[in-house]
A and B are shown apart, each in its own frame.
Chain A
Amino acid sequence: MEETEKYLNGLIHNDRKVVASIYETFFPKVKSFVLDNKGKEEDVQDVFHDSLMYLIVKHKESPLKVNSFEAYFFTICKNIWRRTLKSNKNRVMNHDPAHYVDKEADLGLFILEQKRLEFYQEKFQLLSPNCKEILGSYFNGMSYEDILQELDYTSVNTVRQRVFKCKAKIIQLIKEDRKYRKLKR
């Protein structure tokens, strides 16, 4: 906890030494994650920079309460990289190689998207263990047939019904929450 505060406070106060110490400690891990996941050397610095900026914006907005700086920071780096891969994919699909990059807009959008993801995760945690298991598999792209085999259901139809019910439940939980209206979709 002490370490987390040291890093976060150092960041919002533009403390060069703290930034250097964050680089020394966490850069190799982020680098190997990005390079292992279709990234190039030049992408790593951007991911690292944007993730730190994310922490600064959030911590200035209201003090972040995180148990482990490392785990939280790595999750943010991972999500920023997921977003980059998705944007690159969309650009290729739209035949838009000379895409104009508005860095502040990109980071701003990420901040809102991350907020929405955390809201969804909060609702997901309220589901029954069985719903979490089956929806987790479904959202990760497993077919009904694969889920049938993996989770020992009796028929594809039972799997489908269960997925529909669990999906309906999470949607209900999301819509019932006032925060939902505030989140831009």
Chain B
Amino acid sequence: MSQIFDDKRQQEIEAYLQKKMSQEEVVNFEEKLTNDQLLQEDVLLQESLQDSFKEDNWATLTNDSDNQELQELKKTLRSDPFTEISETIREVGADYEKKKDTKDRRIYYRMAIAAAVLLLCALPFFINSQSSSVYDQYANWETLPSLREKGDTQAAIIEGESLYISQKYKEAIRYFKDTIDASDPYYSYALMYLGASYFQTENLEKAHQTYNTLIATNSLQSSYGYWYKLLMYLKVENTEKANEMLTLILSNPDNYNYTEAQKIQAALQSK
């Protein structure tokens, strides 16, 4: 393999891309970049590789007027046949939303009536549930995000999901460990199920480790890790650690189950 991959050069590229260089080092490295085309090419390639494979990132190209292929594509997209198709899609989309809105409203009224009836019947249950623990109220291990429900039957984790649903937790653990790797597009989902399977087999240490990995993926699903760790701390009544998780969840309204976390925090404070 060429000298390009010698350790020092690799370490420099990595430190540069991960912004781990001092101001002075950046200046020196960028000077090197302007004089070394091969190094420039390597940095760009590694950057685009990294961004391409990271689930919550994307490797973009620049809108360059010298890019002939891009100019051709723009011309195609602006041509009559394509603008006509584009308009059809927009119109059908608007019709779909309109129809859906009317349907939703009808369903809403029916549900509102049904809910009122249910509320009257279920009042005794609600009174009882006030005395159950916070954990019992919020634990949702049975309803992990389902790719099957989302209709993605192509995803490799479907089989693991089925094992988990049929409570074959040990088989689920084996399946996820053997078949899913970090390059799988649904790696984060697999980690959710793997962690939950460890939890169900009472291997809490492994469950925590798995959710730490999920958090470290820094993907769109990372915050699920905080939630499941929170549940485990609530289960063992470790309020201090549970509060730490709550702080993390509540640091960003986009985090999974943000509203539920607010309620849990209020419930813990009122105890």
Q: Which residues of A contact B (CB under 8 A)?
A: 11-12, 14, 16, 19-20, 23-24, 27, 29, 32-33, 36-38, 45, 48-49, 52-53, 56-57, 68, 70-71, 74-75, 78-79, 82-83, 85-87, 90, 102, 104-105, 107-109, 111-113, 116-117, 120, 124, 129, 132-133, 135-137, 139-143, 146, 149-150, 164, 167-168, 170-172, 174-175, 184-185
Instruction: Report A-chain residues with C-beta under 8 Å of the C-beta of B96.
Output: 20, 23-24, 27
> Chain A's nearest CB lies how many Å from the CB of B6?
9
The answer on a CB contact under 8 Å between A104 and B154 is no
Cβ contact of B57, chosen from A86, A108, A168, cutoff 8 A: A86
Instruction: Report B-chain residues with C-beta under 8 Å of the C-beta of A120.
Output: 48-49, 52-53
Instruction: Count A/B pairs, Cβ under 8 Å.
Output: 192
A102 vs B77: C-alpha distance when bound (angstroms): 12
Q: Which residues of B contact A (CB under 8 A)?
A: 1, 4-5, 7, 10, 41-42, 44-46, 48-61, 63-64, 67, 69-70, 73-74, 76-78, 81-82, 84-86, 88-90, 92-93, 95-97, 145, 150-155, 181-185, 187, 209, 212-213, 216-220, 254
The answer on a CB contact under 8 Å between A116 and B1 is no
Q: Interface of chain B, helix or strand or loop or mixed?
A: helix
Q: Interface of chain A, helix or strand or loop or mixed?
A: helix
Instruction: Report B-chain residues with C-beta under 8 Å of the C-beta of A108.
Output: 70, 73-74, 77
Instruction: Report B-chain residues with C-beta under 8 Å of the C-beta of A33.
Output: 150
13 further contact pairs, Cβ within 8 A, besides A32-B150, A52-B89: A12-B85, A16-B92, A19-B92, A20-B96, A36-B145, A71-B152, A71-B154, A139-B182, A167-B46, A167-B49, A172-B1, A175-B45, A185-B41
The answer on a CB contact under 8 Å between B61 and A14 is no
Instruction: Report A-chain residues with C-beta under 8 Å of the C-beta of B93.
Output: 23, 45, 48-49
Instruction: Report A-chain residues with C-beta under 8 Å of the C-beta of B57.
Output: 82, 86
The answer on a CB contact under 8 Å between B64 and A184 is yes
Instruction: Report B-chain residues with C-beta under 8 Å of the C-beta of A12.
Output: 85
Instruction: Report B-chain residues with C-beta under 8 Å of the C-beta of A150.
Output: 209, 213
